[in-house]
Amino acid sequence: MIREVRIHQFRCFENLDFFPAPHRTCIVGQNAEGKTSILEAVCVLLRLQSPRSSAAADLIRSGAEGFSIEGCFADTRLQYRQTVDGRTISMDSKVQSRSDDYLSTACVTWFSNADLDLVKGSASGRRRYLDFLGTQSVTGYRKALRDYDRALRSRNSLLKEGRPRREIAAFDLPLLDAGNVLLTARAELTAALAPLARASCLEISSTSDVLEMNYRPGCNGSFPEALAASRPEEERLRQTVCGPHRDDLELHLNSLKAAPFASEGQQRTIALALKIAQARRIKDTHNKSPVLLLDDVFGELDTTRRNQFLHALPSDAQTLITTTFLDWATDGVEMAVLNLAGKKLTPAIPK
């Protein structure tokens, strides 16, 4: 459970202190007040990455030279500082040279309206979905992902320059070693996620929609053989054409491809089901639920789906919610409510 978050020079906030409730906290405010940035700061503090941007420089408040976020998760004090020179992370005031221990403190699942792209967007979004889960639940996944990306960038750079094959081949082994770890892990993650997503979809949907999810690796057959066979196409296109960077998830609803055939309401249900499956998989792995960050996801859901979605969330998870209105909150929904206005949080006055 995260007990406090202190934000300095992050996004639109010069300073903000946030004290979430143990179970469910709702932040209510108008658009452009910074609601999403508060949840983003929690994700950055706990996972050292933003769900909205891959560049840490984007998170620095305009005109500032860096940002800092600190807070307490359970009894551990965490701190993340970012400047133009890089980042510094600390646990209980001790600077960490590596992130492994830091990242073992807490897990997160992020929900937003942009999750609709998991269904109708490109494969890169579905790979990020698997990667965000893999880095939180599979030993060695984060290192393999980092090693693969490094080898892929180097290899593609040489291919683009038309360098000799012997230079390109120097990166084949690190690409294959890291790639095989990712291919195996993603296949296993998908196999574990599929029944969880199917069950979540049935819980949220007002109909008996059946969701199927299958892993489609970015190479045919074994990776080493596929990489060797792809050399002519590599030389023609001047890029690596097979491997985990081409992976995808196939989503079908009632035996039809979800992207072209599911309605928008069904697509939103699928996206929510995928994220609930992610949260349930993390709980199965660590025997505790992740912190759930729900960024303005209720506006596009009908009343039935809102209620069923809330009911489907892990009941023991600490949940932080942003919204512009509270019409969706029925009398049975218990939560602390904070109003955000003028970049300040204040407790809502009960009616």
Domain contains 111: no
Q: For position 99, which CATH number holds? A: 3.40.50.300
Give CA–CA dist 177/187, Å, rounded: 16
Is 2 inside a domain boundary?
yes
pLDDT of residue 240: 98
CA dist 85 and 171 (Å) reads 29
The answer on pLDDT for 173 being more than 60 is: yes
Domain shared by 199 and 346, yes or no: no
Same domain, yes or no: 142 and 274: yes
Rounded mean pLDDT of the chain?
94
- The string of pLDDT tens digits covering residues 292-331 is 999 999 877 887 888 889 889 998 999 999 999 887 776 5
Claim to verify: residue 150 and residue 5 sit in the same structural domain = no
pLDDT score at 298: 85
Domains of the chain: total: 2
Domain end residue (candidates: 231, 261, 287): 287
Asked if residue 154 and residue 268 are part of one domain, the reply reads yes
pLDDT of res. 332: 64
User: Rounded to whole angstroms, how far apart are CA atoms 197 and 192?
Assistant: 9
- CA separation, residue 256 to residues 14, 213, 217, 262, 274 (Å): 49, 11, 20, 8, 17
Residues 281 and 295 in one domain: no
With respect to residue 181, please indicate whether it lies within any of the assigned structural domains: yes
User: pLDDT at residue 37 above 70?
Assistant: yes
CA distances from 129 to 5, 58, 109, 277, 339 (A): 25, 21, 10, 11, 31
Q: Are residue 90 and residue 131 in the same domain, yes or no?
A: no
What whole-number distance in Å separates Cα of residue 197 and Cα of residue 237? 37
Asked, for residue 113, whether it belongs to a domain, the answer is no
Q: What confidence score (pLDDT) does residue 165 get?
A: 94
Cα–Cα distance measured from residue 119 to residue 111, given in angstroms and rounded to the nearest whole number: 14
| Domain shared by 327 and 219, yes or no | no
pLDDT of residue 351: 52
Range with the lowest mean pLDDT among 108-112, 242-246, 263-267?
263-267
Q: Give the model's pLDDT for residue 206.
A: 72
344 and 241 fall within a common domain: no
Q: pTM here?
A: 0.94
Q: What is the CATH number of the domain that holds 147?
A: 1.20.1050.90
Task: Please check whether residues 274 and 295 belong to one and the same domain.
Answer: no
Judged against a pLDDT cut of 90, whether residue 65 lies above it is answered with yes
pLDDT above 90: percentage of residues in the chain: 88
d(CA 288, CA 136): 12
Q: Are 127 and 260 in a shared domain?
A: yes
> Measured between alpha carbons, how far is 201 from 208 in angstroms, rounded to an integer?
9
Q: Looking at the structure, do residues 169 and 280 belong to the same domain, yes or no?
A: yes
Does residue 232 lie in a domain region?
Answer: yes
Question: Residues 141-145: what's their mean pLDDT?
Answer: 97
The residue range of the domain holding 298 is: 1-106+290-351
pLDDT > 90? residue 84 = no
